[in-house]
Structure 1
Amino acid sequence: MAAEASSSVPALATSPLTEEELTLTVKWSGKEYTVRVCGSDTVGELKRRICEVTNVLPKRQKLLYPKVGSKLADDCLLLSQIPIKTSLKMTMIGTVEDEIFVDQVDSPEIVDDFEIGQEEAVDIKDKEVNKQKLRRRIEQYKITLRNPCREGKKLLVLDIDYTLFDHRSTAENPLELMRPYLHEFLSAVYAEYDIIIWSATSMKWVELKMGQLGVLSNPNYKITAMLDHLAMITVQSDSHGIIDCKPLGLIWAKFPEFYSPKNTIMFDDLRRNFVMNPQNGLTIKPFRKAHANRGTDRELMKLTQYLLAIADLDDISVLNHKDWESYNEDNVKRRRHT
């Protein structure tokens, strides 16, 4: 399995960068911090790197740099479009905050999700500039294991917001916003899959959500690891511009003896998050308006059947996960005739 995984993940040491890296100095709160970026990175990516060293969330940062005006307020702007020089120092204004459970409500909601065509997705995945970004992320991001990887198990990577939890509705108790059958789902699939949580929010927020929902303390399953927004990368789409995504190659490079494209599946309510690994993503129906839909939502029950049905396959990346409901129906029919 390790050999298979290595052919799917960009090499760390042997692939030279085709663009020069910038080492920037950021002044904040009386100290200086160093961050590494490239011209193909966005302002939003720069803010992620600054967050790594200062713990100031990107949405709380205001960047000041000589003669660029308001350009650093546009998170989608490429750094190559801004006359930034390594020798100059940038100032950041921002405050570290202890996040509370309702804090993320003021984050922008993505409602215009889109599907990138297969041909363009392959082009994005294979572009050298995006492979470089993935290599840098592999070098920079540390995945802390909460529980050991298990030999012979497949890998399930799960988003949080709108996948496991309705983060926009309000409630006195967060359990009221949890997707129905969450613990039953995780308990059942844990028999065949290691489970990694990957959210586009900060790690404090991930730990808080999973802790309050009882995911980190449930005796019937264990979470292998949790990833946050700092593990994501930005890529350029010809049809949709700059987008953030979750490259599974990061996980495959960190644990090649356990996980590869052949044994990994990822659930997310946003299709764009799969753009670097389109064959491994399943778009889950968003769980919104929890109070109205809690009594009728059966998505996790049905997906449990699918995950267990494909668990014995040697290569689940050959499946079209868009057809997962049809796959369930076909299995039911076959069982009826046997």
Structure 2
Amino acid sequence: MADAPSSSSSAAPPVADAASLAEVAVSAPVEEMTLVVKWRGQEQTVRMVGDDTLGELKLRICEATGVFPKRQTLLYPKLMLKDIDDSTLLSSIPFKRNVKINMIGTVEEEIFIGQEDDPELLDDFDFEQNEDTPIKDKDVYKQKLKRRASQYKVHLVVSQVPAISFIYLHQFLAAAYSKYDIIIWSATSMKWVELKMEQLGVLGSPDYKITALMDHLAMITVQSENQSRKKTFDCKPLGVIWAQFPEYYNEKNTIMFDDLRRNFIMNPQNGLVIRPFRKAHSNRDNDNELVKLTHYLLSIGDLEDLSKLDHGKWESSIDESAKRRKRS
């Protein structure tokens, strides 16, 4: 049993203020860092670089332990890591050699047994949208993308038995499959991606195949700087896919659907914003947007370069096409 701390040692450790963190960040070169995280008696070695953020460290810890960042409480001598913003660069946090980070946290399986529809895990739609920012060409994010592409392993899908039928969804995917490979990318964990896809009957259809599944660990953290208040958020860089499968996929033949514009901030020319689809079980037969999306995908499927299109006008282009057909 550990001894109770004395009154002199029980005071809260000092919190590193923003000024001191910034001073350290300026003086410290960007370099590789090896951090050891101790959790439930086991040690995990996590390799980072100085221009990674605390939020990205939490993602790497999640990859090693299965504990989501929001479940992690990180303890470090003389630092209150919980009071340091996730956007803070690791190079500005005074980690010391041979000093371990202790973590308290619980994996999702121990919390959400029988709660597979928990909206916080399965719903990608509860974040406010962000305006596009010119960050896709910044070297710091290009380097993050390069590292993520080298670290993340895309989960290729083995077909399974179909389950629930969602009419428009399956018609849409079957039509898309005639001209495109299909990859599902969710901001949740792989367990919940697989679970939801199984519930939707997507992984076992005889009419189409899902090429791969991707989860939140393939995302990178970026910061918007064109607003009065800086905002840090995660996004889904298609470069992760392009780097791993360059013989098949590139910016000219890829289109990405998401209801959050910020998710394709690293590749806005390939993104198409769709409306959130809620209450799938009650609305599954009324998702008319998928019908229009089907027409749009098929109409552009034979083009040599999709990145030159303005996907923001996709609905108007479909409406104009329909009017021309009526006139003819």
- Please indicate the TM-score interval, normalised by the length of the shorter structure: 0.7 to 0.9
Are 2:129 and 1:113 equivalent residues in the alignment? yes
Q: Which residue of 2 aligns with 1:21?
A: 32
The correspondence for 1:207, drawn from 175, 194, 200, is 194
Matches within 5 A, 1:23-102: 23-71=34-82, 74-98=85-109, 99-100=112-113, 101-102=115-116
What SS does the aligned partner of 2:204 have? coil
Are 2:154 and 1:143 equivalent residues in the alignment? yes
What SS does the aligned partner of 1:193 have? coil
Following superposition, the deviation at residue 248 of structure 1 comes to 0.3
Q: Which has the larger radius of gyration?
A: 2
CA distance in 2, matches of 1:72, 1:26: 18
CA distance in 1, matches of 2:158, 2:285: 33
CA distance in 1, matches of 2:63, 2:272: 29
Q: Which residue of 2 aligns with 1:169?
A: none
CA distance in 2, matches of 1:86, 1:113: 40
CA distance in 1, matches of 2:173, 2:66: 31
CA distance in 2, matches of 1:147, 1:326: 37
**Greater RCO, 1 or 2 (C-alpha within 8 Å, sep 6+):** 1
Q: How many residues align?
A: 289
Are 2:210 and 1:223 equivalent residues in the alignment? yes
Offset from partner CA, 1:30-60 (integer Å, 9 cap, x none): 1211112233322221111011111222222
CA distance in 2, matches of 1:72, 1:79: 14
Q: Which ranges in structure 1 are unaligned for 5 or more consecutive residues? A: 1-17, 149-173
Q: Which residue of 2 aligns with 1:160?
A: none
The correspondence for 1:250, drawn from 233, 240, 264, is 240
Following superposition, the deviation at residue 263 of structure 1 comes to 0.3
What SS does the aligned partner of 1:182 have? helix
Q: Which ranges in structure 2 are unaligned for 5 or more consecutive residues? A: 1-28
Q: Which residue of 2 aligns with 1:156?
A: none
Counterpart code for 2:93: I
Contact 1:33-1:53 within 8 A present in 2 as well: yes
CA gap of 1:236–1:85, structure 2 versus 1, over 3 A, is farther
What SS does the aligned partner of 1:68 have? coil
The correspondence for 2:288, drawn from 293, 298, 302, is 298
CA distance in 2, matches of 1:334, 1:97: 52
Contact 1:62-1:73 within 8 A present in 2 as well: no
Counterpart code for 1:102: E
The correspondence for 1:237, drawn from 224, 232, 248, is 224
Q: Which residue of 2 aligns with 1:164?
A: none
Percent sequence identity is 62
TM-score normalised to structure 2 length: 0.81
What SS does the aligned partner of 1:264 have? coil
What SS does the aligned partner of 1:194 have? coil
Q: C-alpha root-mean-square deviation of aligned residues, in Å? A: 2.5
